[in-house]
Structure 1
């Protein structure tokens, strides 16, 4: 229809305008420290699941920076409990989804 305006949601996380047409002075991150920590935690978990071990420390470092509660192997809060290798895999994937949202990581 003519004259109808549709609002389309979009991400403006790295939208800071152009210095010259097609060029911006914004440094787009290629890899983030949080991603490196999550990758190391994932590798440690794949080698061997250790309840509340080094992999948990790395995962919780990312969560703590974001102001989130720590995940532990026997947490009374079921949403924060990671009790085996498979649930740790899922926790890493979920953390990667929310931490790296809209940053061209798949």
Structure 2
């Protein structure tokens, strides 16, 4: 049979362990930067084109197009930004997005 003192100590360790696992809110400035990137992707398709040449392979060409789920669902980029910041910090944005 377990002693009450042992059970109390075990409970204290478990409570401390669970409390240490709770996520900490992100720095508002960092959240704003990350969420601005997401809001920019919600504005429309993104893409890049690569053209070049080198002595081993000769000429090369590459292209990429990106579509975010926020863009495809027609979400407002400002609403995407505000929701993203709130989810990461637990508070409203400290400044409007720079889109």
Task: Classify the TM-score, shorter chain.
Answer: 0.3 to 0.5
Q: Which structure has more strand as a fraction of its residues?
A: 2
Name the TM-score, length of structure 2 as normaliser.
Answer: 0.33
Larger radius of gyration: 2
Taking structure 1 as the reference length, the TM-score comes to 0.31
